[in-house]
Structures are given as C-alpha cells and as structure tokens.
C-alpha cells in the first residue's frame, strides 16, 4: 500500500509538471503572437537611390501610425533578399517581380511582394555616340549579368532596333536571332555599368544606378524602356508575414498620395509611380 501510494503521488506530480510545461509553451506562443501583433519597429533593406529616398518620405507617415521605420542600405541585388529570408530584415525594397520570382526559384526562399511602388525605365547610355542610330558595326554594349535584368536589357536593345530575339521572358544573348551590326554583348555586375561607359560603346543601365552616377534617364539615355514596363519595383516580405499589421501599414504608406507626389516631383518622369 505504501509503495502504491508513493507511485500514485509521483505520477500526479509528473502530470502537474507536464500540464505546467504545456501552459508555459502556450503562454510563450501567445507572447510571440502578441509581439508580432504589437511590432512597432520595421527594419527594411533598400538600395540608396531612389528606394531609400522614397522610404524617407514613408518614414514620417508610419511614425504617425506608431511605427519606427529603420532603413538599411544595400548596394547589391542579392544580400537584401538573403538578409530578409534569414530574419535580419522585416522587408526590403529594391527589386521587381520577375527578379523576385527567379530568386525564389534559384535560392529556395519564401518571399512575397505586397505592394508595387514605382517603375524605373531602363535606359541605354553612351559616352561615344549621341543617338542609338550611331552605334557602329562591332560595337560592344554592356548589360547586367543577372538573368532577369539581362533579359530586360536585351529587350530594350531589341526595341531600339539593334537586335532581334526569340520570344520568351527570360532570354539571354544566346537567344539573339538577328544581329546585323554584330553587336558584342558584355555582361557585368549591374552596379559596375556606369563606370565602364568609357570602355564600351554603350551600356544598358538600371535607373537606380544611372541616377547614382548623375545620369538623367529622360535626358541622357539614347534609348529608354517603354513606360508600360511590367518591371514595377516592389515591397517584399517573408510570405508568413504578409498579413501582419506592420506589413499592411507599410503597404498603405508606400502607396500614399504623399509618396506619389514625391516621386512625380522629384524624378520628373524618370521614375514613375506604379499605383
């Protein structure tokens, strides 16, 4: 009887401890959920121009809603996504939809876009000719070396009448079907393109890097992407966070009337609101 009573007490104690443990786990889960709901600091990665400039306008709008927007600068097209996926950022703002789709597929990340903000028409720039028609036979033209921006650049050259391409979204220089001027395509990291303008005949440059190099797309480009380009720059978050309150607040702020006016006034058509 004595042994049976001791065993019974021991089992009861274990049950109490087990229930207490479950209660602690539930409390921790509730606390985590509550912390997500009450999140007031938003850490967002962005390219310096124009993304950070636009976010500086967003900052006071979010401040009125009780959020502290902390902007972290990046100068490449890879780290902002890996940092977001790893939880070092809450969001980022530097890329367009085709780039995000390709990145998710190649890097097995789970990132989603939540708001379109602006379009940056890609342009062809040259220090050697003043018109696209002046591009000579055998000219060397530099383009971005990442697949999505490289394909986009080739399509700009096609629209300008320099080459013809196979149909498709993600084309490469191997998909050139007609090249009457024997254009040589040189693939380089996107941030390097403005720096090589003295070394090549022309370069197809993303607008953010063109602006950083003091190049005005509407004045300095000898050919420019159409304004109905599908490459809108977007706010990106981890897919699991899409419905969080801080993300909804961020989406509303970046698509506000204040941001639209800033883009139109500041960039004078070289960057266009996408909302």
Does 7 map to a domain? no
Residue 153 has a pLDDT of: 97
Does 33 map to a domain? no
Contacts of 136 (CB under 8 A, 6+ apart): 129, 181, 201
pTM of the model: 0.75
Task: Tell me the per-residue pLDDT of 62-81, one tens digit each, with 9 for 90 and over.
Answer: 999 999 999 999 999 999 99
Contacts of 274 (CB under 8 A, 6+ apart): 116, 117, 118, 119, 232, 233
Mean pLDDT per 10-residue interval, the chain, length 275 residues: 47 44 46 59 97 98 98 96 98 96 96 96 96 98 96 96 95 98 98 98 95 92 86 97 98 98 93 93
Q: Is 231 within 8 Å of 149 (Cβ atoms)? A: no
Range of the domain at 76: 39-120+231-273
Task: Tell me the per-residue pLDDT of 128-165, one tens digit each, with 9 for 90 and over.
Answer: 999 999 999 999 999 999 999 999 999 999 999 999 99
Range 93-116 burial, b when 16+ CB lie within 10 A, else e:
bbbbbbbbbbbbeeeebebbbbbb
H or E stretch including 79? helix 79-85
Residue 31 has a pLDDT of: 46
Does 12 map to a domain? no
Q: Report the sign of the C-alpha dihedral through residues 57, 60, 64, 65, in that order.
A: positive
Query: What is the SS3 assignment for 208-261?
Result: HHHHHCCCCHHHHCCEECCCCCCCEEEEEEEHHHCCCHHHHHHHHHHCCHHHHH
Does 63 map to a domain? yes
Torsion of CA 203, 144, 141, 127, to 10 degrees: 20
Contacts of 87 (CB under 8 A, 6+ apart): 238
Does 146 map to a domain? yes
Claim to verify: residue 139 and residue 190 sit in the same structural domain: yes
Read off the CATH number of the domain in which 132 is found.
3.40.190.10
Does 23 map to a domain? no
């Amino acid at each position: 009887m004595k042994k049976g009573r001791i065993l019974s007490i021991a089992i009861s104690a274990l049950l109490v401890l087990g229930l207490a443990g479950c209660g602690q786990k539930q409390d921790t889960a509730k606390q985590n959920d509550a912390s997500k709901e009450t999140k007031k600091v938003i850490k967002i990665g962005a390219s310096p121009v124009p993304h950070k400039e636009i976010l500086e306008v967003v900052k006071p709008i979010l401040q009125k809603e009780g959020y502290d927007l902390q902007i972290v600068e990046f100068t490449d097209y890879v780290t902002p996504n890996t940092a977001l996926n790893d939880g070092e950022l809450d969001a980022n703002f530097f890329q367009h939809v085709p780039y995000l789709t390709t990145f998710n597929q190649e890097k097995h990340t789970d990132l989603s876009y939540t708001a379109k903000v602006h379009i940056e028409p890609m342009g062809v720039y040259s220090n050697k000719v003043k018109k696209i028609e002046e591009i000579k036979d055998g000219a060397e033209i530099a383009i971005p070396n990442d697949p999505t921006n490289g394909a986009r650049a080739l399509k700009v050259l096609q629209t300008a009448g320099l080459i013809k391409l196979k149909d498709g979204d993600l084309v490469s220089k191997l998909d050139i079907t007609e090249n009457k001027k024997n254009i040589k395509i040189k693939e380089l990291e996107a941030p390097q393109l403005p720096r090589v303008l003295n070394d090549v005949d022309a370069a197809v440059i993303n607008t953010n890097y063109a602006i950083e190099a003091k190049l005005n797309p509407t004045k300095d480009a000898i050919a420019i992407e159409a304004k109905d380009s599908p490459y809108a720059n977007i706010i990106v978050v981890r897919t699991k966070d899409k419905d969080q309150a801080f993300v909804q607040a961020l989406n509303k702020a970046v698509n506000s009337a204040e941001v639209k006016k800033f883009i139109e006034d500041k960039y004078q058509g070289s960057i266009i609101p996408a909302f």
